Amino acid sequence: MTDFARNKKALHDFAIEETYEAGIQLTGPEVKSVREGRANLKESYARVRDGEVFLIGAHISPYANARQERQLPTRDRKLLLHRKEIDRLIGKSQEEGKTLIPLKLYSKNGIVKLQIAVASRKRQYDKRREIAKKTADREIERAMKERLR
């Protein structure tokens, strides 16, 4: 399993509740561009429209050696999920404060997959508390190493 793109900011800004693995409908040149690592998930999100899930705002740079006409790098892309998963996402996304966000774009058995999550936005004080906890854990770990020396 090879990671092509990660949405690092999502883990900082959102509290993840559930994750799903989805296929993504790409053209041939887009797949080649993704495999070169030329995809960006920042500022992107997923939205349910007409009983289908779409990835909106993800940037996949045009493949340099493509022969066909170039497509918009930020076009909406359909996500491939089972009907039960889509129905569950419809219910979850309609809850107050819930958002569908992409976490990472990766390859599984040669097929490009997208991990999406149902998440809620963290408050500023939650972010500060998390940073303080990480700092304290790091200091404890450092003290333990010093004591073992």
State pLDDT tens for residues 130-142.
888 889 999 999 9
pLDDT at 91: 87
Domains of the chain, residue spans: 2-122
pLDDT at 8: 85
Between strands 14-24 and 59-60, the pairing is: unpaired
pLDDT at 74: 82
pLDDT at 145: 87
pLDDT at 130: 83
CATH architecture assignment, domain 2-122: Beta Barrel (2.40)
Helix-then-strand count for the chain, H and E = 4, 9
- Cα separation of 93 and 63, whole Å? 33
pLDDT at 67: 75
pLDDT at 22: 92
pLDDT at 122: 78
> What's the predicted TM-score (pTM) here?
0.77
Cβ–Cβ < 8 Å for 33, 62: yes
What is the H or E stretch that residue 84 is in? helix 83-93
Q: Residues, the chain, total?
A: 149
C-alpha dist (Å) from residue 3 to 34, 46, 71, 110, 115? 10, 19, 23, 12, 11
User: Which residues in the chain land under pLDDT 70?
Assistant: 1, 69
By the 10 Å C-beta count (0-12 exposed, 13-18 middle, 19+ buried), 118 is classed as: buried
